[in-house]
Amino acid sequence: MMRIQGRWLKGLRLQLAGIATVVAAAIILSAALAQTPSTARTEEASSPPALNGASLDYFPRDHLFRILGKEVMSAKGEGMGRITDVLFDEKGQPRAAVIDFGGFLGVGTRKIAIIWSVLHFDLGEKKNVIALDIGRDQLKAAPEYKDSDKPIPVVAQPQPQPPAPNEAPVQPGH
Partner 1 sequence: MITRSLQLSGLRTRPNPTAMTRSQRGLDWLNFFVANFQTGFGPFISVYLTGVGWTQGAIGAALSAGTVAGMVSQVPGGALVDGLRSKRAAAAAAIIAIMASALLIALWPALLLISLAEILHAFASSVLGPAIAALSLALVDPSAFGERLGRNARFLAIGNAFAAGLMGTFGYYISDRAVFLLTAALALPALAALQMIRDADLVSPKTPAKGVLIAQEQPKGWSWRFLRDRRLLTYSACASLFQFGNAAMLPIAAGMVTKRAGSEAELVIAACIVAPQIVTAAISPWAGRAAEEYGRRRVLLLGFSMLPLRGMLFAGISDPYLIIVIQLLDGLSAAVIGVLTPLIVADITRGSGGYTTSLGVVGLAVGTGATLSTTAAGLVADYFGGAAAFLSLGAVGLGATLLVLILMPETKYRA
Residues of this chain that bind partner 1 (CB under 8 A): 4, 8, 11-12, 15, 18-19, 22-23, 25-26, 30, 33-34, 66, 68-69, 71, 78, 82, 84-85, 100-110, 136-137, 140-141, 146, 174
Furthest-apart CA atoms within the chain: distance in Å: 81
Residue placing its CB nearer to partner 1 in the complex, 54 or 170: 170
Residue placing its CB nearer to partner 1 in the complex, 92 or 106: 106
* Cβ atoms within 10 Å of 155's Cβ, excluding its own: 23
Specify the pairing of strand 79-88 against strand 94-101. antiparallel
Residue placing its CB nearer to partner 1 in the complex, 30 or 161: 30
Concatenating the DSSP letter of every residue in 32-83 gives HHHHHHHHHHHHHHHSPPP-TT-------GGG----TT-EEEETT--EEEEE
Residue placing its CB nearer to partner 1 in the complex, 8 or 121: 8
Specify the pairing of strand 119-120 against strand 79-88. unpaired
Q: Are 107 and 166 within 8 A, CB to CB? A: no
Least distance between partner 1 and beta carbon 119 (Å): 17
Residue placing its CB nearer to partner 1 in the complex, 28 or 164: 28
Q: What distance in Å separates the CA atoms of residue 157 and residue 161, rounded to the nearest whole number?
A: 7
Q: Are 156 and 115 within 8 A, CB to CB? A: yes
